[in-house]
Structure 1
Amino acid sequence: MAKHYRVGQFVKVKVTGIQSYGAFVKTPDNREGLIHISEVMDDYVHDVGQFLTKGQIVKAKIISIEDDEKLNLTLKENEYFKNEERQKAKKSVLDLIKETEEYGFESLAQKMPGWIQEAKANMRNEQGR
């Protein structure tokens, strides 16, 4: 017997696939659905794979049900993803750079010899293949 779902209901779903436009999911009774990239969080999401992985189980809210019974879901009301969004707001692109390192003209000049050696070693390794 198929379970009846309704708009506004929260369901636990398992991520079955990741695409550039969203994540495919299934409910425990194998009903298929999609979490569109725009429904992961309110902020801009460049890569769904940064937030979801295949096999992950998440709690999502049903925002619509297609004629073929497929679910359209959102994570925007999931507390975990709300917290991720708040934390993201505190971060900037510069957070990707190690906080212990300083970057500027002087430190770049200091790092350049090491980078050149590393590039030469990589080139030797490539030629040896």
Structure 2
Amino acid sequence: MRKQYKVGQFLKVKVTGIQPYGAFVETPDHVEGLIHISEVMNDYVHNLNQFLTVGQIVKAKIIKVESDGKLNLTLKENEYFKRQERKKERRSVLDEIKETEKYGFQPLEERLPKWIEQSNKHLQDD
């Protein structure tokens, strides 16, 4: 027999799949759920793969129980993801380098003036 889940309840769920719009999860008693990309943190999340991986177990809060028993969950009250938000606020210019960019002396030389400009702007804003 399945547990009765309630809105506001916290539970640990396992990530079973990741799509551009959200992460599919499953409870220990095999109830399926979804963590929509907008429910990971208050900041904009471009890529869920930066925060979640298949097989990862996370503590989530139920925000809705569908009529078919499936769960809609949020990570916004999870302390780990709250810390990630605070870290994003303190990003450096170096954090903006994309993983897909080519590395080497020439690309660095081309980007250096822009990075210096961004750093100076950041210092003036503080």
Query: Percent of counterpart pairs with the same letter?
Result: 73
For 2:11, what is the secondary structure of its paired residue?
strand
Q: Distance in 1 between matches of 2:3 and 2:76?
A: 24
The one-letter code of the counterpart of 1:108 is E
CA RMSD of aligned residues (A): 1.7
Offset, 1:108: 1.9
Q: How many residues align?
A: 101
Unaligned runs of 5+ in 2: 98-107, 111-126
Q: Does 1:84 align with 2:80?
A: no
Aligned structure 1 segments of 4 or more residues deviating by more than 2 angstroms: 92-97
Structure 1 segment 9-48 matched on structure 2, within 5 A: 9-48=9-48
Structure 1: which 5+ residue stretches go unaligned? 98-106, 110-129
* Equivalence for 2:2: 2
Q: Say yes or no: does 1:108 pair with 2:109.
A: yes
Which whole-Å CA distance do the structure 1 matches of 2:91 and 2:109 have between them?
24
C-alpha displacement at 1:41, in angstroms? Answer: 0.2
Aligned equivalent of 1:70: 70
Q: Give, in angstroms, the shift of residue 74 of structure 1.
A: 0.1
Give per-residue Cα distances to partners, 1:5-58, cap 9 Å, x unaligned.
Answer: 000000100000000000000000000000000000000000111100000000
Instruction: Give TM-score, length-normalised by structure 1.
Output: 0.74
Q: How high is the TM-score relative to the length of structure 2?
A: 0.75
